[in-house]
Structure 1
Amino acid sequence: MPTAASRRSDRRISPVFLGIVAVMGVSGWAVWTDYAATVGLAVFLFVTSAWIVSLCLHEYAHARTALHSGDISIGTKGYLTLNPLAYTHALLSIVLPVLFVIMGGIGLPGGAVFIERGRIQGRWKHSLISAAGPLTNVLFAIVCTAPFWLDALDGVPMVFRYALAFLALLQVTAAILNFLPVPGLDGYGVIEPWLSYKIRRQVEPIAPFGLLAVFALLFIPEVNHFFFDGVDAVLRGLGVSGLESDCGLEYYRFWQGTNEFCESFVNQ
């Protein structure tokens, strides 16, 4: 039986996570003040660290919801410390998502906390555990776009606005992809408890390949255009233009050189 001291230890925020938050804060300040000699590098560090923070919060939401739903083993696994190194699949939850952001500007869904589902009773609880992660991305997107939909951009530096817009795009893509009812993604986890045992057994062998199938489909131009048209529509609804998110990506990829069109707005 865990003691009170061990429970506090299991839930103490990890220094690794605090370090990532510190990088996010310092680089965000550098973007805001244009302090860095290379503002693109500051944008890269700010968006990447903020993206990793959102991934940690995504997994924490799964774990915390599971804990309150009956899986008391969650704490001993280190999931409540927000330490990305404690995840069972750090490659899937941290490394690949960051690489996909760098290569394609897509918010790759993570999926790393191991939940002992046998400890949890009730289909609604299982569905909520799966939904908790992508709902965190939704909340993160709302926070990132708050200055846009609140019309509170006066005084916000243009490059910082671009960085927020691109970070919001990552959160929206992650939320949409995660909510797809595809085996292996959280969206399927939401509906899985309501499916028959026979269907669940038939789907189980293909679950590890669901995410790969989704990204293979995104390489089809028609599917890719349809997907990003949907993402752009959501961002426009939140007050973010395609120009702002595109310029955010341009500054993020600082090694390619900044688009002169985007720079013209910054220098106005």
Structure 2
Amino acid sequence: MTYEPVYTRTPRNAFVPSPVFVGIVAIFAVSGVMTWTRFGNIGIDAFLFVISGWLVSLCLHEYAHAVSAYLSGDLTVAERGYLRLNPLKYTHPVLSIVLPVIVVILGGIGLPGGAVWVDHRYIRSKVKDSLISASGPLTNVVLAVLLAVPFLIGLGPDLSTIRTEPHLEFWAALALLVFFQVTASVLNFMPIPGLDGGSVIAPWLSPAYQRVWTMFAPYGFLLLFALLWQTPVGTWFYTVVDAVAGWLNVPSWLYAYGYEIMRFWSS
């Protein structure tokens, strides 16, 4: 017997941002002002600014997946609360929020998460299926460019003005956020099972290869860590990231300084 899914009604508040997300945005804005004005402990200011900004981007990344799925026919994402930008509604909050934040703090890269569960029975097109997976990392690309706009128009400091720049810590923290978005974009587009890049190509594989791909998906993060820290892929990865950041006019010394400030407890 063939199962035919039943479409659900979209809740009235399905697209209303959750109080949790609004609170994170508020912390991002306030801590940005605190970092700009060097209010109190600049290390704590920068830490709150970077982490809250990264959390906002994680929410937007998952939101992009959910919106794409909704527009492609899976209305159940609205019922699950994925369209409200609430990280607590994700299927795996630890993988999508906690782990990426820990890796940002300890490892200094924008680790991709994965938590929006899409009911692929509603998706009738391979193209739409791939676009749902690609929408997340594409969001990181857009965020990287938006955050880099001040650097692209020449507002950021350079080595000749570093000693006289009154808002150096803010620019360093902002550069670090750009760096995290670039790393997340590059990582997410890698064709690894379990990551968005792998999910982009999965619909185009034969059923037999799809089964094998799905079997290895839970181990995608382990494969990613092994590639980055045990093979030349890690060197290539940082070379690409530094090159992209350079195209955005964000110097590597600035986001390195931002990482140093953010980890205030180690200085």
TM-score, reference length from structure 1: 0.91
Task: Please report how far the alpha carbon of residue 53 of structure 1 lies from its aligned counterpart in structure 2 after TM superposition.
Answer: 0.4
CA offsets, 1:199-222, max 9 Å, x none?
Answer: 112222111101211112212264
In the comparison of the two structures, how many residue pairs are matched?
254
Runs of 4+ in 1 over 4 A off after TM superposition: none
Output the CA distance in 1 between the equivalents of 2:153 and 2:166.
13
Output the CA distance in 1 between the equivalents of 2:201 and 2:227.
22
1:13 and 2:23 correspond = no
**Residue of 207, 217, 227 corresponding to 1:217:** 227
More helix as a share of residues? 1
Output the CA distance in 1 between the equivalents of 2:47 and 2:23.
16
Partner of 1:261: none
Partner of 1:132: 135
Report the residue type matching 1:12 in the other structure. V
CA offsets, 1:54-88, max 9 Å, x none?
Answer: 00000000000000000011111000110000000
1:82 and 2:85 correspond = yes
* Equivalence map 1:115-194=2 (5 Å): 115-153=118-156, 157-194=167-204
Partner of 1:29: 33
1:43 and 2:46 correspond = yes
Q: Secondary structure at the match of 2:11?
A: helix
Output the CA distance in 2 between the equivalents of 1:13 and 1:156.
35
CA 1:126–1:156: 2 relative to 1, 3 Å: farther
Output the CA distance in 1 between the equivalents of 2:27 and 2:116.
24
Output the CA distance in 2 between the equivalents of 1:9 and 1:144.
29
Which 5+ residue runs of structure 1 have no aligned equivalent? 258-268
CA 1:201–1:221: 2 relative to 1, 3 Å: closer
Report the residue type matching 2:56 in the other structure. V
Task: Please report how far the alpha carbon of residue 181 of structure 1 lies from its aligned counterpart in structure 2 after TM superposition.
Answer: 0.7
Do the aligned residues in 1 keep the contact of 2:8 with 2:76 (CA within 8 Å)?
no
Partner of 2:236: 226
Aligned CA-pair RMSD: 1.5
Output the CA distance in 2 between the equivalents of 1:209 and 1:2.
33
Output the CA distance in 1 between the equivalents of 2:66 and 2:150.
30
**Residue of 187, 205, 209 corresponding to 1:195:** 205
Output the CA distance in 1 between the equivalents of 2:166 and 2:150.
9
Output the CA distance in 2 between the equivalents of 1:223 and 1:64.
32
Report the residue type matching 1:227 in the other structure. F
Report the residue type matching 2:118 in the other structure. I
Partner of 1:265: none
Do the aligned residues in 1 keep the contact of 2:202 with 2:213 (CA within 8 Å)?
no
Report the residue type matching 1:11 in the other structure. F
Q: Secondary structure at the match of 2:76?
A: coil
CA offsets, 1:120-161, max 9 Å, x none?
Answer: 111110010000000011111101111111223378821111
Report the residue type matching 1:80 in the other structure. L
CA offsets, 1:144-184, max 9 Å, x none?
Answer: 11111122337882111101111111111111110001110
1:237 and 2:240 correspond = no
Do the aligned residues in 1 keep the contact of 2:140 with 2:182 (CA within 8 Å)?
yes
Report the residue type matching 1:15 in the other structure. P
Question: Identity of counterpart residues, as a percentage?
Answer: 50
Task: Please report how far the alpha carbon of residue 7 of structure 1 lies from its aligned counterpart in structure 2 after TM superposition.
Answer: 2.4
Report the residue type matching 2:101 in the other structure. V
